[in-house]
Amino acid sequence: METVVQQLLNAAQLGAVYALIALGYSMVYGVIRLINFAHGDIFMVGGFAGLLLALRFTWMPLWALMPLAMLLTALLGVAIERVAYRRLRQAQRMSLVITALGVGIFLENLVRLGVGPETRQIPSRMPTTPVAWLQDALGVSVTWDKLLIIFVSLALMALLWAVVHRTLLGTAMRAVADDKDVVPLMGVNLNRVIAVTFAIGSALAAAGGVFFGQAYSLDPYMGIDLGWKAFIAAVIGGIGSIEGAVLGSFLLAGVEVLTVAYLSSNLKNGIAFGLLILLLLIWPSGLLGRPASKKV
């Protein structure tokens, strides 16, 4: 039982990172029906932004470092939307997909040229000592940094939910998601809402990048694998749904961690994609997604 609890805690930490990335996919798709395939590389850039800030400002605590990395990455997300996507909103879907893939490749090579291809790790800004009362209660080794990653990520997810469902900005986002052609007639600035959506999604991805860089490692191409995993999580939960993205992320992370622990690490990706196929055969719209309806 202690081993199972330990693995579930590992899955919760990984799932929290997946969720922070998957929320960006869901938000952008929900608002403008775009699968931003560059989002995984935005997550990677956010992680390296945290690394560079940590190396440059060695005195900076995590509560100051992470918001700054999130801000810089949010500005990058807004710039990508303005330069690469805005003119293509009325273009064919394939043009947007190709552009998104091109943006991702550009970011990967830009970071590789600027920082180097080596694997890096962000110097820890979180306490790594075990949580004594949890160790006594559960019989497992749980460190403070793991708990902080899980709880801060959950707090960011709850804050996003509150913004989307309890603020005027969130109302505008949901209105654009329902009908982006009619919303401008109601006085809503469509470009501003979409830019803010990209900014929020990119900032959350940066938080995930900072956490991943401290708990695991960073490299210029990590956004490919982790971006696809987060996209799978968003689709499993129901892309376009905030709650679905979170549920799918923790479910996928649990399957991956338990597969590595009890079967084989070689089966991790195969089982992840197999889970996607199986769930989509049963629930084509995802676990919490809504079937697309079309008026005729």
Name the residue with higher pLDDT: 79 or 282: 79
Residue 292 placed within a domain: no
Residue 296 placed within a domain: no
Average pLDDT over residues 87-107: 91
Angle ∠(145,151,154) on CA atoms, nearest 5: 140
Residue 291 placed within a domain: no
Is the pLDDT assigned to residue 154 strictly greater than 70? yes
In the chain, which residue ranges form alpha helices assigned H by DSSP?
A: 2-32, 39-56, 62-80, 93-115, 132-138, 144-166, 168-178, 190-215, 222-237, 242-262, 268-282
176-205 pLDDT, tens digit per residue, is 988 888 888 888 899 999 999 999 999 999
**Alpha carbon distance 70, 47 (integer Å):** 9
Residue 7 placed within a domain: yes
What CATH number corresponds to the domain at position 25? 1.10.3470
| The pLDDT value given to residue 296 | 52
**Alpha carbon distance 186, 170 (integer Å):** 15
Residue 122 placed within a domain: yes
Residue 226: give the domain boundaries.
Answer: 2-282
Whether the predicted model's global pTM rises above the 0.85 cut: yes
Name the residue with higher pLDDT: 163 or 295: 163
Average pLDDT over residues 151-172: 95
Residue 287 placed within a domain: no
Residue 289 placed within a domain: no
Which percentage of the chain shows pLDDT scores above 70? 98
Is the pLDDT assigned to residue 244 strictly greater than 80? yes
Name the residue with higher pLDDT: 183 or 46: 46
Residue 18 placed within a domain: yes
Number of domains, the chain: 1
77-88 pLDDT, tens digit per residue, is 999 999 999 988
